[in-house]
Amino acid sequence: ATANIGVVGLAVMGSNLARNLASREGNTVAVYNRSYEKTETLLSEHPEAGFVGSSTVEEFAASLQTPRTAIIMVKAGAGTDAVIDQLTAVFEPGDIIVDGGNALFTDTIRREKAVRETGIHFVGAGISGGEEGALNGPSIMPGGSKESYETLGPILSSIAAVAEGEPCVTHVGTDGAGHFVKMIHNGIEYADMQLIAEAYDLIRRGTGKSPAEIADVFAEWNTGELESYLIEITAEVLRQVDAETGKPLVDVIVDQAGAKGTGAWTVQTALDLGIPVSGIAEAVFARSLSSKPAQRAAATDLPGPSDAWTVDDPETFIEDVRRALYASKIIAYSQGFDEIVAGAEQYGWDIQKGEIAKIWRGGCIIRAQFLNRITEAYAENDGLVALVTAPYFRDAVAGAQDSWRRVVATAAHAGIPAPAFSSSLSYYDGLRADRLPAALVQGQRDFFGAHTYKRIDKDGTFHTLWSGDRSEISAVDTH
């Protein structure tokens, strides 16, 4: 046994993670893949890494020093279960199996429980940053037991991205906590991307600027409070010219957005937890709408606004859009963190919100300066009930809201879809409302279903005899 860490699954993510591990002082990395060709390719292309290759899982286990630590990077789902079965058959109590794939957190909870019964530790670790991140430093969100993190922490810290001198990894919580937080990360990523896309669309249609000119706008925004990886790559994509046609690349790409499911998971989970992540949901739905060509084709002649729309002052409009984007972004993160808080409560995880914002500052897709403000907000008040109510964010939204309202109104007026901008604004107005029409909804529910209601002026639960004399009676709470 010569290796101190192993990687199973040598497609793009696993190979890059293995190379990242091998590049760190003191590591000898064992590698294994179901089909041996991938192992052979990796060994021959990267002799400098000093990999210990195996063609069977038994050989792989024998090549690892005990207690063994192996990271699985295979296709999430059945592939992960198959590899866990193989590893638990050859590993021993005290060994650690890490699943670095994009597992659904409830699968991770189930797997952790099953593997724990064998005495082997199971750690579901969310890994963000794509291929690039896996090779040069991802953001890592490990769950699992505290005990396993003692062994794993230093190894993961050594390969993680570094942001302001700190490695982008922290023990998120037990069992599925890491994959849960990775899921939320991806949900926020969907919202962030959709908001940026809406900003681009509004500017393009409102000002007639070319994609290359809008690239300059985003590059400029990237020097301020919106500074982030996603804004940076947006400028790059908008600037790209198609070699074949000479047109902006964005104009030759089919406008149907794909998805691999983590955004939908975030929203499905939020529905179960009762958390309104409307910005993320609209982002997921916007991709769904875009990918319905038959419906879209059938709807192209539906009438739009009858008034023409012109932007009088492009510079002011662009600044309005920038502020609307920032305010909406704050809402998306506020909603995402609400879901983290609710998940932690539901599943019994002690998640340090400020630490999560910290480990997202580097390596991952939503990396941004802005995350420091979130860490600060939770450092000031760990019991913060909504991120948007923290002083910094409250002030930021206060400064942006007039612009935000103008942009949403303009989008509606001009017939330009801005689902994430407008749903975020509605959420904000709903949250801050003194009274909500939910009172009327309760009245309706009581009318047709005797679902009862509470009163603002006395304790108890009440029901109006709607089909009788309409007097009010005390009722047993049916909830």
Q: Which residues bind ligand NDP (CB under 6 A)?
A: 9-14, 33-35, 38, 73-76, 78-79, 82-83, 101-102, 127, 130-131
d(CA 43, CA 55): 12
288 among the known binding-site residues? no
**Shortest separation between residue 152's beta carbon and ligand NDP, angstroms:** 17
Based on CB atoms, which residue is closest to ligand NDP, 127 or 397?
127
Dist CA 181 CA 355 (whole Å) = 11
Minimum CB separation of residue 176 from ligand NDP in Å reads 15
| 198/188 Cα distance (integer angstroms) | 15
Q: Is residue 463 within 8 Å of 475, Cβ to Cβ?
A: yes
Helix (H, G, I), strand (E, B) or coil at 370: coil
What is d(CA 340, CA 356) in angstroms, rounded to the nearest whole number? 10
| Annotated binding-site residue? 75 | yes
Query: Is 34 known as a binding-site position?
Result: yes
Q: Is 76 annotated as a binding residue?
A: yes
Q: Which is nearer to ligand NDP, 75 or 113 (CB)?
A: 75
Structure token digits, residue 58: 């038994």
Question: How far apart (Å, rounded) are the C-alpha atoms in residues 167 and 161?
Answer: 6
Q: What tokens were used for 439?
A: 């009172």
Query: Rounded to the nearest whole angstrom, what is the least distance from the CB of residue 86 to ligand NDP in the complex?
Result: 8
Q: How far is the CB of 215 from ligand NDP (least distance, A)?
A: 24
For residue 246, say whether it is annotated as part of any ligand binding site.
no
**Per annotation, catalytic residue among 40, 92, 164, 182:** 182
212 annotated ligand-binding residue: no
Q: Which is nearer to ligand NDP, 260 or 292 (CB)?
A: 260
- Name which of 10 and 414 has its Cβ closer to ligand NDP: 10
Cα–Cα distance between 198 and 411 in angstroms, integer?
10
Of the CA atoms within 13 Å of residue 13, those in its CB half-sphere come to: 18
Query: Pseudo-torsion of CA 227, 231, 235, 236, nearest 10°?
Result: 100
Which amino acid would we find at residue 165? Answer: G
Can 189 be counted among the known catalytic residues? yes
Least distance (Å) between residue 233 CB and ligand NDP: 14
Of 74 and 407, CB closest to ligand NDP: 74
Catalytic residue among 112, 189, 282, 339: 189
Catalytic residue list contains 247: no
Q: Check the annotation: does 129 bind a ligand.
A: yes
- Complex with ligand NDP: residue 17 or 284, whichever CB lies closer: 17
Name all contacts of 126-129 with Cβ < 8 Å and 24+ positions apart: 126/102, 126/172, 126/178, 126/179, 126/181, 126/182, 126/183, 126/185, 127/13, 127/17, 127/100, 127/182, 128/182, 128/185, 128/186, 128/360, 128/363, 128/364, 128/365, 129/161, 129/363, 129/364, 129/365
Residue nearest to ligand NDP (CB): 101
Binding residues for substrate: 102, 128-130, 185-186, 190, 260, 287, 445, 451
Binding-site residues, in ranges, read 9-14, 33-35, 74-76, 102, 128-130, 185-186, 190, 260, 287, 445, 451
- Residue numbers in the known binding site for NADP(+) are 9-14, 33-35, 74-76, 102
Q: Which residues are catalytically annotated?
A: 182, 189
